Structure 1
Amino acid sequence: MAPHADLSTVFLEARDGSSTANLPHDNFGPNLNIAVWILTGAALIFLCLRLYCKLSIRKGLWYDDYVLIAASAALIAQTAMLSVCVHHGFGKHSWDITDWPTYLFVSNITGVCSITAAAWSKTSFAITLLRFTEGWKRRFVWFCIITVNLFLGLSALFTYVQCTPVKRLWDSSVPGHCWNSHVIITYNSFSSSWSGVIDICLAILPWTIIRRLSLNRKERLGVLIAMSMGVFAGLTSIAKTATLGAIANPDVIATLALMVLATAEISLSIIAASIPSLRVLIRNTMRVYSTPHFYRYHRSDETRSNGSGVQSYQSSDRGRLAMPSPDRKESNFSEFTQYSTPLSSPDSALKRDWHGTVASSMLDSEFELQHRENTTYEMRSVHRR
């Protein structure tokens, strides 16, 4: 994400040979720090909410969660190293940077952390899709995982193999040579564009699966929107491609937009991967607000009907959250299916994976929680009867 030492030599010679008093002396470093830490903080908030939702219903974490945690750690490392770059002059014009070797050394580490975080954040969402895809869709997801990690991995590798010896990457006084900067720019433009296309494809793929589920229109729309947020990360990645040419500019201030877009891409990928899991939290929050009305209504009905203060979980036209009674066992399952696809339905796109959990990491949490609540209410009602 930074020019190698050969490019910085141009400004070093210009600075030594003439005065820079008439040149601009902008410093956008503090503003850059604020922007990237806000983006990083937003991603971490969504990640924590995702983990809370997973753990609160005692489902535990799966591979996609661990990969997303690793991506978030890489994002934090990238943002922290970027702050170190700002301390050493990033955000200023090249003629105002005094410690070039240190700046370039830290800057290239920042770029590798950024590439790693981008690859892992996309991999996490793809692993989620593996849990409920089959046939050509599953093979396509594996293709996305392999190619994204391969192409972005090469981008990270090329950062350090472009100069021989490696130390010349940040210290122009070391004898050696480096690749033409246009080679790196061309390849990074390709890998960034590919990354954006993969983001969009993975965001669209759930539409071909969820449309087969027996969800009502409101539920289906909510699920599709939640799982398609990766489109924004893809568009950001493609927009970032247009700024990669700034790497060849000896004035490093030209790469500010590149670093902001790179951080935004990763943050949006983490947020997009976390949003589907938050539907359980949102639904439970809404249920808490509606619960007092629900209990008051049923307690008064039960008192009028049998003179008892014991609450009954009878189905009602007016009580929207009411659970069916034990006398309506057949309708119990039918009322459950109006929220979701039956877990045993042969037409369901949801498949059980090898460890017995429902395949969709976004839908299985909600389905399991609803099923558990239904079962608990029924057992209480049967016991009281």
Structure 2
Amino acid sequence: MPLGGKGPVLVTVLWSENFLSAILIGLRFYTRTFIITRIGWDDYALIATWLLMVGYAAMSSVSAAAGLGQHAGDLTTEMFANALFFEMIAQVFACFAIGMAKVAVSLFLMRIVVNKWHKGILWFCIATMMTLSTLLAIGVFVHCTPTRSLWDPQLAAEQVCHLNFILLAKLDCGWAAAMDFFLALLPWLILWNVNMKRRDKITVCISLSLGVFAGVCGVIRTSGLDALSQTSDYLYATTESLIWTSTEVTMTIVCVCISALRPLWTHLRGGSSSGGYQEHTGPRSKRGTSYGLQNLPSETRCTYTREVSHDRGMDDADTESSKGIVTHGAAIHRVQQFNVTYEDAQSNSSTRDDVEAQPTTQTAI
């Protein structure tokens, strides 16, 4: 059956947004793999989100071919039942896609935050969002018996509902919208004290703030649930809700991808983009830790020479300890000066020491 009513608009919007998401996720994954070589769980969560959205668009398209987006009076009973059945499968994909999108944003922010309570909040967002999404996905097919009565109008007289599905949908959709607003504003609160370049902070904060638009889509979708439960022309009325669902997830993908594409932009402009930011929470972040020079570009490797002066009043033990600094790299008692000499990487340097660095917190984007 050819698409009719709102079906063509629905199919066009859903696949266009999937195509846009595929491009952005592909660019992000390329950046992570070949430019900064740092793949994370947030990248895999984004891919999972996109795959779920592909399933959502595919099932919606099959439903549209069966009659989704058309008035009930233009459909036979069999067409109506088939269209509603495939739309319900699409809703299951959407439930998990919405939850997984919030997981991707939360995991991305975990790359940046350093305080345990920040991470605790993000894990709370992940746990609550996925719990509600799973309950709603299960509820799509189990809230009434017999199950077939959910999509076959011929069994409507036998239907017995055990769960207020609209209330559960409102709770899930409302919480998802709240998470969009919260995750969009959270970076402004937690990143200002993180040791990042100001430009990087602004880039991340502004890009993630686009999640506000995803929240707006969620609010619009949630506000229309009551109308959908009361309409007698469900397949025609539900089309806009399906579009808002896709747009909400797409906006989430856009905002979390844009914030990670700055190294790619820098690389295309011919700049250095191999560094990025990486969080150090282990022993290397403690005071007095040495940082090696292995990651320096080959043409700018450095040899560091320490010059240590001794007071005349120092005893023999101190003098021997100070000599040990120069010859063996032992603990520093008193340092007067650092001299830095740049050498060619291919020359055979006899001494390569580590640089004493003050502790700093670096973050990965």
Q: Same fold (TM over 0.5)?
A: yes
Mapped partners of 1:242, 1:50: distance in 2: 33
User: Which of 181, 191, 195 is the equivalent residue of 1:210?
Assistant: 191
1:86 to 61, 64, 81: 64
- The separation in 2 between residues aligned to 1:278 and 1:237, in whole angstroms, is 26
1:379 deviates by 3.2
Structure 1 SS opposite 2:152: coil
> Which residue in the other structure is 2:149 paired with?
168
Matched with 1:245 is 226
Structure 1 residues 43, 353: closer, same or farther in 2, change over 3 A?
farther
Deviation readout 1:339-368 (Å, 9 max, x if unpaired): 998x7xxxxxx44479x99xxxxxxxxxxx
Taking the aligned partners of 1:118 and 1:177, their CA distance within structure 2 comes to 29
Distance of aligned partners of 1:223 and 1:124 in 2 relative to their CA distance in 1, 3 Å threshold: closer
Greater Rg over alpha carbons, structure: 2
Aligned-partner Cα distance in 1 for 2:200–2:105: 21
Q: Separation in 2 of the partners of 1:30 and 1:205?
A: 38
Asked whether the 8 Å contact 2:203–2:259 carries over to 1, the reply is: no
Name the TM-score, length of structure 1 as normaliser. Answer: 0.68
Equivalences, count? 290
Distance change (3 Å), C-alpha of 1:340 and 1:31: closer
Which of 263, 274, 287 aligns to 2:246? It is 263
CA distance in 1, matches of 2:166, 2:22: 30
Counterpart residue number, 1:179: 161
Q: Distance in 1 between matches of 2:343 and 2:47?
A: 43
Matched, 1:64 2:45: no
Q: Secondary structure at the match of 1:76?
A: helix
DSSP-derived class of the 2:238 partner: helix
Whole-Å Cα distance in 2 between the matches of residues 189 and 72 of structure 1?
Answer: 24
Judge conservation of contact 2:68–2:84 (CA < 8 Å) in 1: no
Runs of at least 4 residues of structure 1 off by over 6 A?
none
Paired AA for residue 229 in structure 1 = L
TM-superposed CA distance for 1:65, in Å, is 1.5
Determine which of 265, 273, 296 is the counterpart of 1:282: 265
Q: Does structure 2 retain, via aligned residues, the 8 Å contact 1:215–1:340?
A: no
**Aligned counterpart, 1:15:** none
Q: 1:173 deviation in Å?
A: 3.1
Judging by fraction of residues, say which structure has more strand.
Answer: 2
Aligned equivalent of 2:105, options 125, 145, 148: 125
| Paired residue secondary structure (1:212) | coil
Q: Which amino acid aligns with 1:90?
A: L
Which position in structure 1 is the counterpart of 2:256? 273
| Matches of 1:140 and 1:149, distance apart in 2 | 14
TM-score of the aligned structures, taking structure 2 as reference length: 0.72
SS in 1 for 2:137: helix
> Percent identity over the alignment?
27
14, 22, 32: which one pairs with 1:44?
22
Say if 2:35 and 2:263, in contact at 8 Å, map to a contact too: no
Which secondary structure does the structure 1 equivalent of 2:37 belong to?
Answer: coil
Q: Does 1:192 align with 2:173?
A: yes
5+ residue gaps, structure 2, are 286-293, 303-341, 348-365
For the aligned residues, what is the CA RMSD? 3.0
Confirm or deny: 8 A CA contact 1:53 1:280 kept in the other structure: yes
Residues 1-385 of structure 1: matches in 2 within 5 Å? 27-57=5-35, 59-98=37-76, 99-133=79-113, 134-174=115-155, 176-179=158-161, 183-248=164-229, 249-251=231-233, 252-287=235-270, 350-352=279-281, 372=295, 374-379=296-301, 382-383=343-344
Letter in 1 for 2:29: L
